[in-house]
Chains A and B, each alone.
Chain A
Amino acid sequence: MVEIAFIAPLLTGIIAFFLGGRSSRPLLTITGALHLLISVLIWSFRPGAAFPDYFGITPEGLLSLLVISLLFFMISIYTTAYLAKTEIHSERIFTGCMLLFLATMTMVTLSDHIMVMWIAIEATTLASAPLIYTHRSAASLEATWKYVLICSVGIALALLGSVLITLAMDVGGVYAPVSFSSLTDVAEKLDPFWLKTGFVFILVGYGTKMGLAPMHTWLPDAHSEAPSPASALLSGVLLNCAYLGIFKTNKIMQAAGLGDFSGMVLIFFGLASMLAAATFILKQTEYKRLLAYSSIENMGIIAFGTGVGGIGAYGAMLCLIHHSLIKSSLFLSSGNILLGYASRLIDGTGKMARLMPKTFVAFFGGFAGISGFPPFGIFLGELFIVIGAFRAHHYIGVGLFILSICAIFAGFANHIMKISFGDSGVAVKFEENATMVWPQYALLLTSVVLCFWMPETVSQAVMNAVNSMGGGF
């Protein structure tokens, strides 16, 4: 009965649409808590699915499910305080879409059928589009338009890729259910030409959604125009969901003995994303776009690590988990900054260390984490990926990898210093109440704790996920 995990938020989401005014606010936190409970129960009891043809539990799905639940719970707590401080045009649509968004993302983590996966990922686009348009400005309209059109076209290519994989079954004369698990079992019999073509289309399609360059153009616009809690969800979990689609297809490729081909393609897109992010971060003028480009960089790192394989795949998995925790905390802090300075521009901020000390601690801590300082998990992840790339003799690739990480760190640090300690003539009218700060602290703390002590069952799930795509120590 794993389906309950996405049916529950689906129902509360529909209810939220019919509630007037502010009465829908508590629904967010209640559903968040309920969803977290369901996830923990699924994690500990591993129940079967009511429709095993379409849904199932996999280690990578379970990991993502737990991350989604935890993030959504924290974000929902922040959102209640955030909504009290901002004017939002139609609150019930915002709340309803947040919950539907949660439902569709949960569906992605649990789906095992190739086409159901596609349906769920396309549904995440549709559920999150109204969130980006929350502020009803011309710029947010443009961002929503780009988001829906670019992602729909991208995901249509992923649909073609999925159809081509079923074609690989037909041509190879395989008669099995069209699910990722059964396809991985029979992968060797699939027609390699159509499997490769399908993989490339799926990578380009879901890669659009994941924010891989050169299909990333919607990402900075959408992340900067959406209200901060929605940006945190987009960056923290939506990108992971798209990655899950690529991960599972890569698993089929590995099982079919085409891991070298899929690895090369992943490394190419990964490096392209990192280089693109490095170029744009250096001359960035808005802090939310800065964070968005950092997400593109991290998705590039994850794709690169997955492509490298071996210990690099383990590093990619670590980066995936820690990026979600840290980046969503950063986006929540950016919401505070926007409320305080009423400007999206880096030049419009300054002296944050003195004016907003609590947010400063969260923001600076998040910066340290995302740029790969040792106490946080991204450091370990990147280290493993570099080691893995050296072991696999990708010397040029690893050179570009390290170069772009350095450039991004330099650019990022420069902007963060300006925000934290630069001059500012603005009077900040923002009271830092506890509910708008401690969710960020909690997320960062989780990341630090996971680095030193990972519960046995979690580390086992990470290892299983990595092994299933041919990685490991």
Chain B
Amino acid sequence: MIHTVDTILALVLLSVLFSFGSSRLPALIKVIAFQGVVVSVVPFFMGHTMSAGGVAFTIATLLIRGIGIPLCIYLAIKKVAIRREVEPIVGYHASLLAGLVLIVAAIFVAPKFNLPQTSGHVLLLPTAITLLVAGMFILMARRNAIAMVLGYIMMENGIYLVGTSFSLRAHHIVEFGILLDVLAGVMIMAIILQNIKQAFDDVDTALLRTLKE
């Protein structure tokens, strides 16, 4: 039987492939926003009974992960007026192939962990692993500073997906603190991005090479 959760998670997996093959920053931001929305609504479909606080918290997550964070980055781009490529270190075709291998490996590895919590939701763990590793891949394989921030957010989404499946649910205050930290982090990164653009007239991290041994 196919659950609703698995259906939307399949879309997330596809969006990872899309982000690997995409050269434009705005497209990448849309992917991040979509993933943010999906990982925040997953608890609704998990079949747990949810308290009023739980519902309120899920909506807050949705607002911050799905709208707040992507908007922050989008405004940063707009302010520095870049509509440029993501400047790949690893090419798009190679990235796509890596993405496919990653998804297959994640689906192969996930059942080996034997987690009772994920039974019934076949794609939950594979998607979490894929998002985590894909985020790291974007961090390493793209030279554009904005793309690197987006990679960090993708990684965060993956960790959140791992977190939602387990016992963390009972501590909404704590989880909200984590969310605020991530939001503040992204805002600070956005400010730094604007300053980098002002100082170097570009956000290519190859320019950030003066400090090294």
Show the binding face of A for B, using Cβ within 8 Å. 54, 113, 115-116, 118-119, 122-123, 125-126, 129-130, 133, 138-139, 141-146, 148-149, 152-153, 156, 159-160, 163-164, 166-167, 169-171, 178, 220-221, 224-225, 280, 283
**Once the chains bind, are B167 and A115 in contact (CB under 8 Å)?**
no
The verdict on B85 contacting chain A, using a C-beta distance below 8 Å, is no
Q: Please give me the 3 A-B residue pairs with the lowest Cβ-Cβ distance, nearest first.
A: A119-B177, A142-B208, A115-B174
Residues on B with C-beta less than 8 A from A54 are 174
- Can you name 10 A-B residue pairings with CB atoms under 8 Å? A54-B174, A115-B168, A115-B171, A142-B211, A144-B192, A145-B205, A145-B208, A163-B162, A163-B168, A178-B167
**Once the chains bind, are A159 and B139 in contact (CB under 8 Å)?**
no
Least CB distance, B10 to chain A, in whole angstroms: 23
Complex formed: what's the CA distance from A233 to B205 in Å?
28
**Once the chains bind, are A166 and B155 in contact (CB under 8 Å)?**
no
**Once the chains bind, are B192 and A119 in contact (CB under 8 Å)?**
no
**Once the chains bind, are B178 and A163 in contact (CB under 8 Å)?**
no
Interface residues of B in 154-168 (CB under 8 A from A): 155-156, 159, 162-163, 166-168
Q: With A145-B208, A153-B139, A153-B155 known to touch, is A166 a contact of B177 (CB < 8 Å)?
A: no
* Complex partner residue of A149 from B116, B148, B166, B195, CB under 8 angstroms: B148
Q: With A118-B178, A170-B117 known to touch, is A126 a contact of B188 (CB < 8 Å)?
A: yes
Residues on A with C-beta less than 8 A from B189 are 148-149, 152
Q: With A142-B211, A152-B185, A153-B152 known to touch, is A159 a contact of B159 (CB < 8 Å)?
A: yes
Least CB distance, B95 to chain A, in whole angstroms: 19
- SS class, residues of chain A in contact with chain B: helix
Show the binding face of B for A, using Cβ within 8 Å. 115-117, 132, 136, 139, 145, 148-149, 152, 155-156, 159, 162-163, 166-168, 171, 174-175, 177-178, 181, 184-185, 188-189, 192, 195-196, 199-200, 205, 208, 210-211, 213
**Once the chains bind, are B211 and A139 in contact (CB under 8 Å)?**
yes
Complex formed: what's the CA distance from A153 to B133 in Å?
12
Number of A-B contacts defined by CB within 8 Å? 103
**Once the chains bind, are B211 and A156 in contact (CB under 8 Å)?**
no
Complex formed: what's the CA distance from A225 to B196 in Å?
16
Beyond A126-B188, A149-B152, A163-B162, 4 additional contacts (C-beta under 8 Å) are A145-B145, A159-B163, A160-B162, A163-B166
Residues on B with C-beta less than 8 A from A152 are 152, 185, 189
* Complex partner residue of A171 from B115, B162, B210, CB under 8 angstroms: B115
* Complex partner residue of B181 from A126, A153, A169, CB under 8 angstroms: A126
Closest A residue by C-beta to B176: A119
Residues on B with C-beta less than 8 A from A143 are 211
Residues on B with C-beta less than 8 A from A116 are 174, 177
Least CB distance, A131 to chain B, in whole angstroms: 12
Residues on B with C-beta less than 8 A from A280 are 213
Least CB distance, A71 to chain B, in whole angstroms: 25
Least CB distance, B136 to chain A, in whole angstroms: 8
Residues on B with C-beta less than 8 A from A159 are 159, 163, 178
* Complex partner residue of A170 from B159, B166, B188, B196, CB under 8 angstroms: B166
Closest B residue by C-beta to A145: B192
Least CB distance, B98 to chain A, in whole angstroms: 19
Least CB distance, A378 to chain B, in whole angstroms: 25
Q: With A126-B185, A156-B152, A167-B166 known to touch, is A141 a contact of B195 (CB < 8 Å)?
A: yes
* Complex partner residue of A123 from B152, B162, B167, B181, CB under 8 angstroms: B181
**Once the chains bind, are A122 and B181 in contact (CB under 8 Å)?**
yes
Closest B residue by C-beta to A147: B192
Residues on A with C-beta less than 8 A from B115 are 167, 171
Residues on A with C-beta less than 8 A from B145 are 145
**Once the chains bind, are B117 and A160 in contact (CB under 8 Å)?**
no
Least CB distance, B76 to chain A, in whole angstroms: 13
Q: With A115-B174, A141-B199 known to touch, is A166 a contact of B167 (CB < 8 Å)?
A: yes
**Once the chains bind, are A113 and B174 in contact (CB under 8 Å)?**
yes
**Once the chains bind, are B192 and A178 in contact (CB under 8 Å)?**
no
Least CB distance, A418 to chain B, in whole angstroms: 19
Closest A residue by C-beta to B139: A153
Least CB distance, B57 to chain A, in whole angstroms: 14
* Complex partner residue of A119 from B139, B178, B200, CB under 8 angstroms: B178
Closest A residue by C-beta to B158: A160
**Once the chains bind, are A148 and B159 in contact (CB under 8 Å)?**
no
Residues on A with C-beta less than 8 A from B177 are 115-116, 119
**Once the chains bind, are B156 and A156 in contact (CB under 8 Å)?**
yes
Residues on A with C-beta less than 8 A from B205 are 145
